[in-house]
Structure 1
Amino acid sequence: MSERVTPGRTDGLITLGSADALWVEVTAGSAVPTASGAFTRAPAHAPAGYVLLGGRVLATVRGNGGQRSVVEGEVRRAAAELNAVGMDRQDLVRIGPFRAAQRQESSNEETRLRWRRRITRELHELGGPERAARREVGQPRHLAGIDWQQILVEQTRDGTHRTWWLPRAVVRLLDAAEHTETQWVLAARTGPASTAVTEPSSRSRRAPVTDGRRTGPEGSTAALRPYNKELEGQLYSVLSKKPGTSRQVAGWACAVCRTAPAAVLDHCHEHGYVRAPVCQSCNTQERPDHLYSNDIRVAGRYTRLFHTDAEDWLRHWHRCPGCRARTTLPLPHLAAWTAHIACRRLRPTHPAPRGRKPCGTLRVSWTGSQNAPRSCLFTVVVDFCPSGEHRVLAQVPYREAAERFRTWLAETAPAVAAAAGPDSLDGLPDRPRPVIADTGGEGLALF
């Protein structure tokens, strides 16, 4: 029989059944939906000695009769951290499906979260989000205590190509949980078992890191190194083939947000150079939306990339020697900047309950190539106009867009502008790679 949870008494042990009920109760008002069975339903791994809740690992203790328990206070602290997370349901990150085949998981991997693979597998088994939403009552599927099915978004292109998306805040939480779990398991293998709890930083809700350090069982620590240009000037095509590169990347903190553990090497597809190791969330945020052969949609998140966090992102893009020498951005980014910044005053508005609202959705396409700038032309249009119009806002030659960007860069990020140029091709690859269309989305390190 489960013991009763006592308000005000949080230092005692409670059974997993009681912890399930407590988790649902104390997260009832959270922006991120949670699920029952966080401690007792897969992929919870209480028998393995721990349970994931949000970005935190809670150790389980074997009591009398072999029954597992957890510390009530740790459940409440994990709930408080989750309740503090804000979630924008419009800020989405694509999580699949991708054309690349999923690797077969080994028995070792079954004890890991591997949340992207789990979601892909479960959606295939259930026949897609529609059937997943009609799952049997009492059989909730969760990841780290989060009810991901409530917030999963399916988008369809051309009526056939389906993609799945989750809010960025949830992707960050699940990435943090996966990383923290990996560190916990690694520390548990190299040291004696402990009832200590591994938890992410409270300094930042963006990643499980505190001042570049992460914690493991018994308070052990492993440093996340800040990135200090160790890979500057190296070609991605060469570096990505070197043995041990993935392990090296995992040891760095993300070079953009500087708090989350790095997961991939971001690189410039136009010049082929590595920019820096970044986390999955920053990598997907940096990537242009809906990229086709010569067309992108300019989403609302560009407000952050070119406004509030502009200096960080501009510095990151200019880690490519080619972009820095030419004082410009890769073609898709320059196109997005042209539509979002240079043509902002041209965008029509419509009456709205609170003032006026910008018309439709911006889209920019181009003809020609950045390798032939005289013939390259950006065309900025408005799609999905409420009044049924589809208006061409401007046509901007590539060279004019590049000059406008140089002027804006000097005003917005003087330090980045000062480090750029002069326009020189010395040391750059003889044949810069053209931008390659990616409609499948499996290349998460694009641009």
Structure 2
Amino acid sequence: MSERVMPGRADGLITLGAADALWVDLTADSAVPTASGAFTRPPSHARAGYVLLGGRVVATVKASGGQWSVPEGEVRRAAAELNAVGMDRRDLVRIGPFGGVPRQACDEETPLRWRQRVTGELREPGGPERAARRDVGRPYHLAGIDWRRLLVEQTRDGTRRTWWLPRAVVRLLDAAEHAETQWARAARTRRAGAAVAEPPSLPRQARPAVGRRTATSPEGPTAPPRPYSKELEGQLYAVLSRQPGTSRRVAGWACAVCRSAPATVLDHCHEHGYVRAPLCQSCNTLERPDHLYSNDIRVANRYNRLFHTDTDDWLRHWHRCPGCRARTTLPLPHLAAWTAHTACRSLRPTHRAPRGRKPCGVLRVSWTGSQNAPRSCLLTVAVDGCPSGEHRVLARVPYREAAERFRVWLAETAPAVAAAAGPDRLDGLPAEPRPVIADTDGDGLALF
């Protein structure tokens, strides 16, 4: 029998077992499924002075008698924040495996490292089912979230498995990892500089909420990620990425697109080599063309956000590259996706559905040639799996025509972005733009 919460305690503290039961009870109706043992089972670190619940750090304290406890009010606030998170299970982010991507450096004092944990478990023989049976020492949950219930496994070419999680959960776990990093840094600073330790009986709290990524250390608040203000504009990624301390500097900014999550990567244009801005992992994944190969893209529904609901934010972001801004265009993969998704929208076949008509098949765009030779570059928009004929070609659009259509659409959709672009402002740009980089391993990491 689980421990019951006893309200009315003078110090507002409850045992870890009671906190486990309270967390599950309060989040029973959450869109994001939670797991029992958030305070008592790995990878929680209650005896290290904190636990992670969603995107929040909740402090733990050693109460009288040496028993570890947690403020009940903090558990309730963390549950309320998680319950407020909406989730679209169809809006997925690929979390692995990625060939040729260097592993992130592991910080011993920030042990969540959720991507490494998930990837390591899924690569074991038997995967999560075997780990669930063994259970001891396994990451049964991540920041109180039962990630196994949300994992989507897809198989490509009948052989290669890929793993996906909903974007809302990826944002939560990234926020938890960032909050834990801030907590650990503050704790190290406190240990190095404090002459007198803080009494352990005083509750210590950290409150990084989803959407407001702040963290509170054992002795006070640390600085939240600051807004990005074009500090890296015009710099070449090849130069900046080799400078020491760049990763730490990027982590100090908020994502330049969603402006809420902490930045984790430095996004740049692969055609011109210029830095765009720091982004969070979720936005960086959203920007990446879907299922990208050397000259082929599957155009997924998430392009609605890039070219409809969040259009202005993304156009501003892509035009942070001086090369794209000067030519009033987008990198070839993005321009191809825009052409298929927006310019050729009316050409896509539809079929009857319970609520009107539904677009049919899977939209795909490919191209021959290069944007560096626009006269010979041709975009082909097609629909795969359509009842009227598989691989049905909807349109063949020359690159120059696609670029001109984009200029007209940009002026109508985002006038401020269009006013700051072109015409062919080439001052300071390389004489020869970088060619498109072929994605030889099929992981979709090179062309965006």
Fold conserved (TM > 0.5)? yes
Q: Are residues 1:250 and 2:258 paired?
A: no
Task: Tell me the secondary structure at the aligned position of residue 266 of structure 1.
Answer: strand
1:225 correspondence with 2:233: no
Q: What is residue 186 of structure 1 aligned with on the other side?
A: 185
Give the letter for the 1:197 counterpart. Answer: Q
Q: CA deviation at 1:68?
A: 0.7
Measure, in 2, the Cα distance between the counterparts of 1:22 and 1:195. Answer: 18
Q: What is the Cα deviation at residue 271 of structure 1?
A: 0.4
1:50 corresponding residue in structure 2: 50
Going from structure 1 to structure 2, the CA distance change for 1:104 and 1:234 (only over 3 Å counts) comes to: closer
Distance in 1 (CA, whole Å) between partners of 2:154 and 2:128 is: 11
Question: CA RMSD, aligned part only?
Answer: 2.4
Q: 2:205 aligns with which of 176, 197, 201?
A: 197
- Structure 1 residue 110, shift from structure 2 partner: 6.4
Deviation at 1:240, TM superposition (A): 0.4
Question: 1:120 is matched by which residue type in structure 2?
Answer: T
What is the aligned partner in structure 1 of residue 193 from structure 2? none
Contact 2:59–2:204 (Cα < 8 Å) also in 1: yes
What number of residue pairs does the alignment pair up? Answer: 438
Residue 176 in 1 paired to residue 178 in 2?
Answer: no
- CA distance in 2: counterparts of 1:11 and 1:291, whole angstroms: 56
SS in 2 for 1:66: coil
* Cα displacement (A) at 1:125: 2.5
C-alpha contact 2:52 2:143 (8 A) present in aligned 1 = yes
- In 2, the alpha carbon distance for the partners of 1:221 and 1:140 equals 28
Checking the alignment, whether the CA contact within 8 Å between 2:143 and 2:173 is kept in structure 1 is yes
Q: Give a deviation string over 1:60-108, Cα, whole Å, max 9, x none.
A: 11123322111112111111111111111110111111224775976x6
* Equivalent pair of 1:328/1:406 in contact (CA under 8 Å): yes
CA displacement at 1:423 relative to structure 2: 1.1
The aligned residue for residue 78 of structure 2 is 78
Letter paired with 1:122: E
**1:256-289 deviation digits (Å, cap 9, x = unpaired):** 1111111111000000000111111111111110
Q: Distance in 1 between matches of 2:103 and 2:404?
A: 46
User: Which residue does the alignment assign to 1:67?
Assistant: 67
Give the corresponding residue for 2:416: 415
Cross-structure match for 2:39:
39
Bigger shift: residues 152-161 or 413-422: 152-161
Q: 2:161 — aligned with what? A: 162
CA distance in 2, matches of 1:77, 1:445: 41
3-state SS of paired residue (1:109): coil
- State how far apart, in whole Å, the 1-side matches of 2:369 and 2:93 are: 29
Structure 1 residues 87, 223: closer, same or farther in 2, change over 3 A? Answer: closer
Q: How does 1:124-163 map to 2 (within 5 A)?
A: 124-128=123-127, 131=130, 135=133, 141-163=140-162
Report whether the alignment pairs 1:376 with 2:384.
Answer: no
The answer to whether structure 1 residue 109 and structure 2 residue 117 are counterparts is no
SS at match of 1:431: coil
Change (3 A) 1:443 1:263: farther
Deviation at 1:417, TM superposition (A): 0.2
Q: Tell me if structure 2 keeps the 8 A contact 1:129–1:154.
A: no
Task: Give the superposition deviation at 1:431.
Answer: 2.4
Deviation at 1:5, TM superposition (A): 0.9
Query: Counterpart amino acid of 2:36?
Result: S
- What is the one-letter code of the residue matched to 1:323? C
Give the structure 2 partner of residue 263 of structure 1. 264
The answer on 1:317 being equivalent to 2:318 is yes
The answer on whether the counterparts of 1:98 and 1:441 sit within 8 Å (CA) in structure 2 is: no
Contact kept, 8 Å, 1:326 with 1:422, in 2: the verdict is yes
**Corresponding residue of 2:194:** none
- Offset at 1:390? 3.2
C-alpha distance 214-56 of structure 1, shift in aligned 2 (>3 A) = closer
Tell me what 2:29 maps to. 29
Shift of 1:47: 1.2
CA distance in 1, matches of 2:297, 2:405: 20
Would the alpha carbon gap of residues 142 and 408 (structure 1) be closer, same or farther in structure 2, given more than 3 Å must change?
Answer: same
User: Superposition pairs for residues 345-360 of structure 1, below 5 Å?
Assistant: 345-360=346-361
User: Which consecutive unaligned segments of at least 5 residues does structure 1 have?
Assistant: none
Q: 2:7, 2:357 → 1: CA distance?
A: 49
Distance 1:429 1:339 in 2: 29
Q: Tell me if structure 2 keeps the 8 A contact 1:343–1:394.
A: yes
Structure 1 residues 7 and 444: CA distance shift in structure 2, 3 A? farther
- Per-residue deviation at 1:386? 5.0
After superposition, the Cα gap between the structure-2 partners of 1:126 and 1:77, relative to the gap in structure 1 and judged at 3 Å, is farther
Letter in 1 for 2:306: L
CA gap 1:101/1:257 in 2 versus in 1, 3 angstroms: closer
Question: Within 2, Cα distance between the matches of 1:441 and 1:264?
Answer: 21
Q: What does the per-residue CA deviation read over 1:209-241, in whole Å, with 9 as the maximum and x for residues that have no partner? A: 3xxx65433442314222111111111111100
State the Cα deviation string for residues 298-355 of structure 1 (Å, max 9, x = none): 1111101111110110010000000001000000000000001000001111000111
SS in 2 for 1:351: strand
Separation in structure 2 between the aligned mates of residue 351 and residue 82 of structure 1, nearest angstrom: 38
Asked if the contact 2:274–2:322 (Cα under 8 Å) also holds between the matched residues in 1, the reply is yes
Aligned residue number for residue 283 of structure 2:
282
> What is the one-letter code of the residue matched to 1:401?
A
5+ residue gaps, structure 2, are 191-196
**Distance in 2 (alpha carbons) for counterparts of 1:337 and 1:260:** 26
- The Cα offsets for residues 149-203 of structure 1, whole Å up to 9 and x where unpaired, read as 11111111111121111000000000000000111111122225563211123xx
Q: Counterpart in 1 of 2:93? A: 93
Give the aligned residue type for 1:332.
P
Q: In structure 1, what residue type is equivalent to 2:263?
A: A
Relative to structure 1, the CA distance from residue 394 to residue 388 in structure 2 (aligned partners, 3 Å threshold; closer, same or farther) is: closer
Name the residue aligned to 1:123.
Answer: 122
Quote the Cα distance in structure 1 between the aligned partners of 2:438 and 2:160.
16
Counterpart residue type for residue 173 of structure 2:
L
> Any idea what SS the aligned residue of 1:285 has?
helix
1:326 has 2:348 as partner: no
Partner of 1:428: 429
Query: What is the CA-CA distance between 1:247 and the residue it aligns to?
Result: 1.2
* Residues 207-218 of structure 1 mapped to structure 2, 5 A cutoff: 207-209=211-213, 214-218=215-219
For 1:316 and 1:359, locate their aligned partners in 2 and report how far apart those are by CA, in whole Å.
Answer: 31
Question: One-letter code of the match for 1:295?
Answer: D
Letter matched to residue 422 of structure 1: P
- Alpha-carbon distance in structure 1 between the residues aligned to 2:319 and 2:276: 8
Tell me by how many angstroms 1:137 deviates. Answer: 8.1
